[in-house]
Amino acid sequence: MLKTLNPSSVAKPPSNYSQAVLVPPNARWLYVSGQLGVDRDGTLASGFEAQMATAMANVFKILDEADMSPSDIVTLRVFAADNGPETVESYRRLRDTMMGDHAPAALFVAVDGFTNPAFRVEIEAVAAAT
């Protein structure tokens, strides 16, 4: 079972993520490549929110294929082509809705763009399960 860490000796996270996640010995690890907001037929969702929801759904499908669940996610790394307040708020809202009470370690990074200018977000994840 994963153990989240938020020591009082460091600042409290400003939203629903953990400062660290401790993984038990002998866990199975899964490294999920960056997922885009593209469905299985190759259709790109329109806009940041739809692309993020689709990319997260892709992460969850890969977890399922590995007999894992969202609660096994150790860390999420989200790369977005915009860091305006609306984008950050959308990211937090969607992450919290899709992750529920599970608060993995997380990173949100604004980037100048992706290989395709229509891409708005890319999500990679690391998961561990016993």
Instruction: State the CATH number of the domain containing residue 46.
Output: 3.30.1330.40
Q: How far apart, in Å, are the Cα atoms of 96 and each of 44, 65, 92?
A: 23, 23, 6
Cβ-Cβ contacts under 8 Å for 54 (sequence gap 6 or more): 36, 37, 38, 39, 45
Read off the pLDDT of residues 56-65 as tens digits, 9 standing for 90 and up.
999 999 999 9
- The count of structural domains within the chain is 1
State which residues form the domain around 92.
28-129
Read off the pLDDT of residues 61-89 as tens digits, 9 standing for 90 and up.
999 999 999 999 999 999 999 888 999 99
Q: How far is CA 6 from the centre of its chain?
A: 18
Model confidence pTM above 0.85: yes
Calculate Rg over the CA atoms of the chain.
Answer: 15
